[in-house]
Amino acid sequence: MKESVADNQTQKIKQGFGTFFFYAGLVALSLTCIYPLIWLLMNSMKTDTELFNNPWWFGSGFEISNYSTAWTAGKIGRSFVNSAFVAISSVGITIIASSMAAFGFTRLKWKLSTPILSLILLGVMIPIHSTLIPLFTIFSKLGITNRYLALILPYVAFALPTSIFILSGFMSTFPKEIEEAVIIDGCSMAGVFWKIVFPLSKTPIATISIYNFVSMWNELMFALILLQDQSKTTLPVSLTRFKGQYSTNWTIQLAAVVIMVIPSIMAYMFLNDKIIESMTIGAVKG
């Protein structure tokens, strides 16, 4: 009896140590992910001298003026609006086009639906920047360089394959009985999509929204080459203005980076539960 009690206590102690080290490891892993953001925020409120003297801890004060300087001198404000317009427009078009395409491929079967879907999904294998020079040549001949459309078109085109793939997998799990019941009540296929399928797809739509928004928001090369007009540059391009030929104002550039990452963090915070739900659904149904 005493031995069994001692064994139970020993087992509880081992479980306690295991739980402690498990959570300690999670905390350490979380810190490795969070610390770069803390470092960025901390050094964005220093002077250049303080940054180079001690980059790993807080300075003597908080140089909030770095943010106003970055916003005005670096013309971050205008670039912020440009990036928001391009990213939101591209994500919106991607959501509508990919959801309609996924509905067509999964619910409206025809002879070539599977081969065409496979052909579209091959686009995932094409690196977006490998098409930069051909697209620049085509857009120059069409006269749409230095226009937002020059960014929106390739952003949407390269976002569609992954988005269609995610939405097709989700829509293929919908019970057909729901659609049949709605159609019997007199609803058209367009009505089935807009009134039933699209609203129920909000979870994968949130996933592709945050995924595409972050990639479009941070994209540099297309924005740098296709938009030469300084009034239409996006945030990643504006960050290059802080680097001069002989010197770079690092703390103001870090402040500009903080401004740039805020929308991505906020978007993830608002859509976090939907992303986790989508991953869970995929794990269960996959």
**Residues 83, 35 share a domain:** no
Q: Give a yes or no: residue 52 inside a domain.
A: no
**Residues 6, 144 share a domain:** no
- Measured in whole angstroms, how far is the alpha carbon of residue 191 from the centre of its chain? 30
Dihedral angle of Cα 218, 222, 224, 227, to the nearest 10 degrees: -110
pTM score over 0.85: no
Q: How many CA atoms lie within 13 A of 158 on its CB side?
A: 20
Q: Give a yes or no: residue 61 inside a domain.
A: no
Predicted local confidence at residue 156, as pLDDT: 94
- pLDDT for 156-171, tens place per residue? 999 999 899 888 888 8
Q: Give a yes or no: residue 59 inside a domain.
A: no
Q: Give a yes or no: residue 133 inside a domain.
A: yes
**Residues 89, 38 share a domain:** no
**Residues 148, 6 share a domain:** no
**Residues 103, 183 share a domain:** yes
Contact criterion met (CB below 8 Å) for 139 and 150: yes
- pLDDT for 23-73, tens place per residue? 888 888 888 888 888 888 888 777 777 777 777 777 677 777 778 877 877
Q: Give a yes or no: residue 55 inside a domain.
A: no
Predicted local confidence at residue 277, as pLDDT: 62
Kindly tell me the sign of the dihedral angle through the C-alpha atoms of 175, 177, 181, 183.
positive
**Residues 25, 120 share a domain:** no
**Residues 9, 147 share a domain:** no
- pLDDT for 75-110, tens place per residue? 788 888 899 999 999 999 999 999 998 888 887 777
Could you tell me the CATH number of the domain that includes residue 163?
1.10.3720.10
**Residues 92, 18 share a domain:** no
**Residues 38, 80 share a domain:** no
Q: Give pairs for 267-276: CB < 8 Å, separation 24+.
A: 267/209, 267/210, 267/213, 267/214, 268/210, 268/214, 271/206, 271/207, 271/209, 271/210, 274/202, 274/203, 274/206, 274/207, 275/206, 275/207, 275/210
**Residues 241, 180 share a domain:** yes
Domain ranges, residue 31: 2-43
Q: Give a yes or no: residue 69 inside a domain.
A: no
Q: Give a yes or no: residue 36 inside a domain.
A: yes
**Residues 80, 16 share a domain:** no
**Residues 33, 102 share a domain:** no
- pLDDT for 179-227, tens place per residue? 778 788 777 888 888 888 888 888 888 888 888 998 899 888 899 888 8
- pLDDT for 101-159, tens place per residue? 888 888 777 777 778 888 888 877 888 888 888 999 999 998 888 889 999 999 999 99
- Measured in whole angstroms, how far is the alpha carbon of residue 184 from the centre of its chain? 40
Predicted local confidence at residue 3, as pLDDT: 54
- pLDDT for 227-282, tens place per residue? 888 888 888 888 877 776 545 677 788 888 888 888 888 877 777 666 666 555 54
Q: Left (φ > 0), alpha (ψ -120 to 50) or beta: where does 119 sit?
A: alpha
Total domains present in the chain: 2
Predicted local confidence at residue 72, as pLDDT: 79
Residue 62 tokens read as 């908080």
Q: Give a yes or no: residue 144 inside a domain.
A: yes
DSSP string, the chain: -HHHHHHHHHHHHHHHHHHHHHHHHHHHHHHHHHHHHHHHHHHTTS-HHHHHH-TTS--SS--THHHHHHHHTT-HHHHHHHHHHHHHHHHHHHHHHHHHHHHHHHHS--TTHHHHHHHHHGGGGS-GGGGHHHHHHHHHHHT-TTSTHHHHHHHHHHHHHHHHHHHHHHHTTS-HHHHHHHHHTT--HHHHIIIIIHHHTHHHHHHHHHHHHHHHHH--HHHHHH---GGG--HHHHHGGGB-SS-B-HHHHHHHHHHHHHHHHHHHHHHHHHHHHHHHHHHHH-
